[in-house]
Amino acid sequence: MYRMMKAKADVVSNIPHASVRRRERIQWIPYLFIAPTVLLIVSFLFYPMLNVFYFSFLNYNPSKPFYNSFAGLDNFVKVFTDDPLFLQSLWISAKWVLVEVTLQLVFGLLVALVLNQAFRLRAFFRTAAIIPWAISGVITATMWSFLYSEHNGMMNDLLTRLHLIHSPIAWLGDTNWVFFSIVLAELWRGIPFFTITMLAALQTIPSELYESCKVDGGGRWRAFTQITLPFLKNSIILSTLLRAVWEFNNVDLIFTMTNGGPANHTMTMTMYVANQAIVAQNFGYGSALTVIGFLILMIFASSYLKLSGFGKEDK
């Protein structure tokens, strides 16, 4: 009898320990599920980033292995003291981002306001509005290059028929027109991003607010400034920040249409990095430029979010 009671007590005393071990085992299961995703992120994001930081301290050119060596801070010193094209490309990038993001936001918001209204074929126009966003940058660049062709492009033909120009213009070869030309092409592709973002945010605004504004005698402009814009504040801040980063890193459209020319008038910083690292195979110097661009974007993003008051409610 004593042995039976002791065995039963031992079994009872082991039950909590078994349940604790089972809970500990269950707590590890979610980490096993997300482990493949974490490995992919580390392999395709963090490892390349660390590689870029590593190569920025080297003189590395695969075509000239006898010159490969540790450079220390020499690449960074050269960027700021002996490379006038760096400041020029940085200025072009800043101008490119400011013009593109501003125009895309304005036109995207206008299109979203129209598509938020009730009218016939609204679903069709909403679908058509995102088509430019679905087209790849290379295809967009090729299509607009045909439109800008000096000899048989539709742009010159249309403007000539309207008597706005008297002779064909080399839109992508003229330093006076090339920046405007690529801005227009990227604008066509970028407007749908803001249209979709703003349209989604507009649909979260309660219709009762507009009805109250109308009852109080407020017109459309008052409703837009006092209801629509405050509700869209966080969406505008976040979307403009994301688009600014994407436009700063934009390389496919510019590379395909102008390759940074003519005379470096469209040589953005990312295009300069591509020319240094890919064309000239100067990976060390190209990596240093990339690190500087990364730091610029990080400072810009943190400052922009802080100054804009993202996520803070207006008092």
Q: What is the pLDDT of residues 135-171, one digit of tens each?
A: 888 888 899 999 998 888 889 888 888 888 888 888 8
* Residue 313 DSSP code: P
Dist. CA 183–CA 172, nearest whole Å: 11
What CATH number has the domain bearing residue 232?
1.10.3720.10
Quick check: 259 and 268 in contact, CB under 8 A? Answer: no
Calculate helix-pair angle for 229-248, 84-115, nearest 10 degrees: 140
Kindly report, residue by residue over 184-216, the tens digit of the pLDDT: 999 999 999 999 999 998 888 888 888 888 887
Quick check: 122 and 115 in contact, CB under 8 A? Answer: yes
pLDDT, position 292 = 93
Q: What's the pTM value of the predicted model, to 2 decimals?
A: 0.83
In a domain, 39, yes or no: no
Quick check: 268 and 85 in contact, CB under 8 A? Answer: no
Dist. CA 165–CA 155, nearest whole Å: 11
Dist. CA 226–CA 217, nearest whole Å: 13
- Where the chain has pLDDT below 70, the residues are 1-26, 311-315
In a domain, 157, yes or no: yes
Dist. CA 182–CA 106, nearest whole Å: 18
Dihedral of the alpha carbons of 58, 62, 63, 66, in degrees to the nearest 10 = 50
In a domain, 128, yes or no: yes
pLDDT, position 187 = 93
Domain count, the chain: 1
Q: What are phi and psi of 59, to 5 degrees?
A: -95, 105
- SS3 (DSSP) at 59: strand
In a domain, 130, yes or no: yes
In a domain, 50, yes or no: no
Dist. CA 128–CA 119, nearest whole Å: 15
Quick check: 268 and 250 in contact, CB under 8 A? Answer: yes
Dist. CA 159–CA 169, nearest whole Å: 10
Instruction: Kindly state the helix (H) or strand (E) to which residue 70 belongs, with its residue range.
Output: strand 69-70
Range of the domain at 131: 69-308
Quick check: 236 and 246 in contact, CB under 8 A? Answer: no
- SS3 (DSSP) at 69: strand
pLDDT, position 12 = 46
Quick one: which of 107, 125, 104 has its CA closest to 116? 125
pLDDT, position 18 = 53
In a domain, 265, yes or no: yes
Calculate helix-pair angle for 74-81, 283-308, nearest 10 degrees: 70
pLDDT, position 294 = 92
In a domain, 205, yes or no: yes
In a domain, 40, yes or no: no
